[in-house]
Amino acid sequence: MDRIEMIPIQFLRHHPDNPRKDLGDLSELTESVRVRGILQNLTVVTADADRLSKEDQKSGYHLFWVVIGNRRLEAAAAAGLTELPCVISDMGHEEQVATMLQENMQRQDLTVYEQAQGFQMMMDLGFNEDQIAERTGFSKATVKRRLKMAELDPKALKKVCEDEAAGNRQISMAEFDKLAKIDDLKKRNALLNKLGTSDFAWEYGKTWRDQESAKALPEIKKILRAAHINKLPDGKRYSSEYDRHYDWTVKLYEWKPGDQLIPEAKKKDELFYFLDDNEIEFFTKHKRADPVPKTEEEKAEEKRIAEAWENVKKDTELARQLRREFADGLSVTQKNVPKMMHSLMVAVVLGELEYVSISDNIKGLFGLETTLETTSYNERIQTAMQKLSGMPMNEWAKLIRCLFDADNKTCYYEGYQREMPRWKENTILDAYYDYLVANGYQMSDTEQQLKDGTYPYFSKA
């Protein structure tokens, strides 16, 4: 049974499993204790002898660990008190940890790092996610997030959280959620150091694509084998002996079982496939008699040019995906903007819909799924205006993104496939980046290189 005793302060120790390591600013509490004394009992348990320091073990004192009241203990010591009123409890170890975590949650928020360590400690002691949520008052979703964080390298996680507290980086829980989608713990820890930096989204995008591609690859190879489609012979990818179907490239990380994999209207026994990182390309034999042999220098140049186009297209696509994800997450908050913004969007949308070539972005947003041949201009306008008049403010950012990025090929390069890609100025895309950056978007180094023309795969001419 619990009992209350006055215990000399030199016999009290901080609990070694207390999730809170930083007790915060104690100046006000110390002054209160100095004037008014301790107004609430501390809760303590008998310390486990085998977990005491060697010095404490040699002392022979009967020592206690403080379960509730660690801040009061430090404030009392600073105020000069010699003994404190304590409730001596016989609660078990699991109950001690749960009580300390719950007490800290109620009084002062733990850091994200301390929450993660505390929740993992409770899991180690036998609590499940539902029990942790019930005991601490956190949602089950938050508990899941923190437990996923606890799998990370604790030293690296602690440093990242300390950097954020010092203002050296800006971390969102959305980034931690993305991090949790990476299955390989080593890769997750490698990305951890990028959290809150301009390169996180870029590095995450590459890692996630590699992961999802690896998951899809076994099923894709099974389908190819069943269709008797052979792998392109080694060294023939850039050969004039084969023609690539540029209108049909499958991104492995986007492909799902049931999606079309093999191009239509092609004789399967004439097809060849080539796996390139996160994509699969299809080829057929070139039907041209007696191709002129190329020199080794010409072959090397063709390969260099093809690799340059491959890299600029991949990086441009990743940049487009990052812009889209960020822009779609924006929301309008300024009270003086709505009417002006609404009028601007009406005018621009009407102008957009007036042209025969309507971008897929605008079609999807306004529900214009039918073909232009079966839909008149007036019908398109009516459908779009009905959608626009009822559009909530939280979708405006998507509309602005659609208008800026109307053409899915919006990019900073141009040129023919037989020469190195050239940088081209794109004032619309420049303005789009200005809009995103003004709203908190962080451009990666690669995006900046694409924008200013210093991208390493651009022609130097």
For residue 430, what pLDDT is reported?
Answer: 81
Residue 349's pLDDT band, with cuts at 50, 70 and 90, is low
The CA distance from 151 to 117, in Å, is 9
Q: Does the domain made of 3-97 have the CATH classification 3.40.50.300?
A: no
DSSP string, 389-430: HT--GGGHHHHHHHHHT-STT--SEE--TTS--EE---HHHH
pTM of the full predicted structure? 0.54
Residue 356's pLDDT band, with cuts at 50, 70 and 90, is very low
Among 29-33, 42-46, 176-180, 221-225, the range scoring the smallest mean pLDDT is 176-180
User: Which position has the higher pLDDT, 78 or 144?
Assistant: 78
**For residues 31-45, average pLDDT:** 90
For residue 455, what pLDDT is reported?
Answer: 93
Nearest Cα residue to 450 out of 405, 414, 406, 416? 414
pLDDT at 340 over 70: no
For residue 418, what pLDDT is reported?
Answer: 84
User: Which position has the higher pLDDT, 107 or 182?
Assistant: 182
User: Of 288-297, 339-348, 401-410, where does the model show the most confidence?
Assistant: 288-297
**For residues 379-394, average pLDDT:** 71
Task: Tell me the backbone φ, ψ of residue 402, rounded to 5 degrees.
Answer: -60, -40
pLDDT at 243 over 90: no
**For residues 108-121, average pLDDT:** 72
Considering the chain, tell me which residue range(s) the CATH 1.10.10.2830 domain(s) occupy.
111-197
Considering the chain, tell me which residue range(s) the CATH 3.90.1530.10 domain(s) occupy.
3-97
For residue 268, what pLDDT is reported?
Answer: 55
Per the listing, tokens 């070539």 go with: 357
For residue 44, what pLDDT is reported?
Answer: 94
> Chain-wide mean pLDDT for the chain?
81
User: Of 132-141, 317-326, 346-355, where does the model show the most confidence?
Assistant: 317-326
For residue 368, what pLDDT is reported?
Answer: 64
pLDDT at 12 over 90: yes
279-285 vs 271-276, strand pairing mode: antiparallel
Topology (CATH level 3) of domain 111-197: Arc Repressor Mutant, subunit A (1.10.10)
Nearest Cα residue to 322 out of 446, 456, 422? 446
**For residues 48-75, average pLDDT:** 88
For residue 197, what pLDDT is reported?
Answer: 84
For residue 339, what pLDDT is reported?
Answer: 47
Query: What's the pLDDT tens digit per position in 252-287?
Result: 999 999 999 998 755 555 889 999 888 999 998 887
Residue 289's pLDDT band, with cuts at 50, 70 and 90, is low
For residue 288, what pLDDT is reported?
Answer: 65
**Cβ(170)–Cβ(198) below 8 Å:** no
The CA distance from 70 to 73, in Å, is 5
For residue 336, what pLDDT is reported?
Answer: 41
The CA distance from 86 to 108, in Å, is 21
User: Which position has the higher pLDDT, 168 or 409?
Assistant: 168
Sign of CA dihedral 432, 435, 438, 440: negative
Residue 393's pLDDT band, with cuts at 50, 70 and 90, is confident
Locate 224 and state its tokens.
């190819």
Burial of residue 390 (CB within 10 Å: 0-12, 13-18, 19+) is exposed
Query: What's the pLDDT tens digit per position in 186-214?
Result: 998 989 888 888 888 889 999 999 999 99
Query: What's the pLDDT tens digit per position in 398-429?
Result: 777 777 665 555 789 998 888 999 999 887 77
**For residues 365-371, average pLDDT:** 61
Could you give the percent of the chain with pLDDT greater than 90?
27
The CA distance from 66 to 16, in Å, is 9
- The residues near 119 (Cβ < 8 Å, ≥ 6 apart) are 101, 132, 136, 143, 146, 147, 150
